[in-house]
Structure 1
């Protein structure tokens, strides 16, 4: 098993990040995949399998507290998580990478780009990302009420497995009319979520809901692509994807019509093709951005 050392916890124990590194050894491009809450790097199974066929090296890791990575008691703020990402890029000596962040992972990209000045990064992709800011406040009147996140935390504390079961259905847009994923897939992703530390699961709700990335996004100068589903019930497009696109200079955007939050599975072929096209277009020294703008259906 492969790990990168990312420092120590408050009690002196090592914090190690588990990662997978797949693809041709002479790949022309490298992508680093940052998973969403409350899953692990395995959520990118399809992308990790298909992108190497496009001559793209894929590195995906488990956030601290999730999957096979260390599960310290603390360190779930975005400054620390961005430092963990830097430890991975430095430890593997990755250069000119494309960072792809899904949901909570988009926050890691935004904070990394401002905190570490975009070191080693060629381009970025935000998929269903929590940026710019989720929580309603005096300066963000269109955000989500704090009580929604408080209820999430209470549900996790009361019965984490049952909470994740219901959350997963909303995550993938499952209802009486639509069932875009199988029951087996729902069970699999719930299993991945249950492997996380309960403490990390709770602390990250506070982090992704309360952190304001508006200033971070303005520091991004590399080519950027925003992908979001317009039927996302977890991270609504109007307060997230749309505004992330507006906040990043010269960012490109594509909206998947009818796609739920979990579009990495429900729209996996299209997402993988869009990622491959964007990464390849920016693999040249000129850094030409990929002109994918507008709406698309599967």
Structure 2
């Protein structure tokens, strides 16, 4: 399996398919690069070099005890891009991965990043504060922390349902989808699972969004039960210089089914412009 080793000694797993302009997919919490298995084929078939990696502490990457934060996630992505000598890169991030690619593009992407895509992403800030009343209260994230420190296996089984909208009438989320979510979640180590909650909920990325110079496509499901849209993409699109927001009716936070098919087509259209 292919790896790079970061300057602070963490092995980062990645996988790739196809050739052409590079497109990198960054996964959400608590998932790993397997969440992008379909996209790797779809975008490789469309003529792109499709790449996905496991964030530190997740999947097959090094099981880190410290430095599970947005700064290190973005730096790891930068070191992967440099190790593969990628240019004219499209970066796509889902949920926490959206925060990762936004910080990467803002801090390291000048001259390398061509476009940014986020899906149900966490920027600018998920946490409710005096300046961000649309965010979720700290008790929500404390509950997630309790989940990963308690019966983590059962916690991920239960979290999968609202993640994919399985608690809504007419949902086509399958048991297999829930099982895969559980499997990927259980491949994280405890410290990374716990610390990443702070990373995705309390990292203010307002200035990262303002720093983006390239076109940005922001996708969001209007039935997202995980990341509050009013604190996230609806604010983010007003902070970037060249952004387009598309809200998908009845779509959940997790990418699957009809939402996934429409989203992938829209991303292909966006990067072809």
TM-score (norm 2): 0.96
Q: Report the count of equivalent residues.
A: 273
1:18 aligns with 2:10: no
Alignment check: 8 A CA contact 1:230 1:255 kept: yes
Query: How does 1:204-283 map onto structure 2 within 5 Å?
Result: 204-265=196-257, 267-281=259-273
Alignment partner, residue 142 of structure 1: 134
Query: What are the superposed Cα offsets for residues 104-127 of structure 1, whole Å, 9 maximum, x if unpaired?
Result: 011112212232253410110011
Deviation (angstroms), 1:279: 1.6
Specify the SS of the correspondent of 2:90: strand
Structure 2: state its 5+ residue gaps.
none
Q: What is the root-mean-square deviation in Å for CA atoms of aligned residues?
A: 1.3
Alignment partner, residue 59 of structure 2: 67
Specify the SS of the correspondent of 2:60: coil
Query: What are the superposed Cα offsets for residues 253-292 of structure 1, whole Å, 9 maximum, x if unpaired?
Result: 11110000012455221111111111222xxxxxxxxxxx
Alignment check: 8 A CA contact 1:245 1:251 kept: yes
1:98 aligns with 2:127: no
Deviation (angstroms), 1:222: 0.3
Deviation (angstroms), 1:173: 0.3
Query: What are the superposed Cα offsets for residues 167-189 of structure 1, whole Å, 9 maximum, x if unpaired?
Result: 11010001262332111221122
Alignment partner, residue 6 of structure 1: 6
Alignment check: 8 A CA contact 1:103 1:129 kept: yes
Alignment partner, residue 38 of structure 1: 30
Specify the SS of the correspondent of 2:177: helix
Alignment partner, residue 159 of structure 1: 151
Alignment partner, residue 182 of structure 1: 174
1: distance between equivalents of 2:168 and 2:76? 41
Query: What are the superposed Cα offsets for residues 50-95 of structure 1, whole Å, 9 maximum, x if unpaired?
Result: 1112111101000000011111211111111111011000000000
2: distance between equivalents of 1:241 and 1:130? 8
1:130 aligns with 2:125: no
